[in-house]
Amino acid sequence: MTDRTATVIWNGTLPDGEGTIESGSGALDGLPVTWASRVEAPEGKTSPEELLAASEAECYTMVLTNMLSTQGNVPDEIRTTATCTVERQESGLKITTMRLQVAGKVPGLDADAFAQAAQEANQKCPVSNALRGNLDFSVEAQLD
């Protein structure tokens, strides 16, 4: 079992306050967060949805890379963009979709095989599996 930690320190009200993220690894230390960066313009600050998209992109890319490599198709490059959509609803904000766009340079692999591997990686990704059933997923794959 592996645990990872993150802490947010917030000062002030929700609309006028601000906070910072600190992480156990130190990699996220000092990241600024505000309500405005979440629902309006980011202006150099992050949001839970951006961090969720980053988590999804990183995890998914690692799973896809490992799958391809163990099948004998070591990628030269995998580039994944995850887009996390949050919508205002009557009950408040709701994360509704996660869209993955993955492109790769994989010698010896054709576009159909890459697309199939991309879909399979989504089914094996721990972050995808944690989110599945709570939002809509889509995966678009293309070879460069």
Query: CA distances (Å), 46 to each of 6, 27, 69, 118, in order?
Result: 14, 14, 33, 27
Question: Would you state the pLDDT for residue 40?
Answer: 87
pLDDT class for 123, splitting at 50, 70, 90?
A: very high
Query: CA distances (Å), 129 to each of 64, 76, 137, 141, in order?
Result: 14, 26, 10, 19
pLDDT digit string (tens) for 67-117? 999 999 999 999 999 999 999 899 989 999 999 999 999 999 999 999 999
pLDDT class for 39, splitting at 50, 70, 90?
A: confident
For the chain, the structural domain boundaries read 6-39, 48-143
Q: How far apart (Å, rounded) are the C-alpha atoms in residues 108 and 84?
A: 32
- CATH code matching the domain that covers 48-143, chosen among 3.30.300.20, 3.90.79.10, 1.10.730.10, 3.30.360.10: 3.30.300.20
**Residue 54 predicted with pLDDT over 90:** yes
Q: In angstroms, how far is the first alpha carbon of the chain from the final one?
A: 37
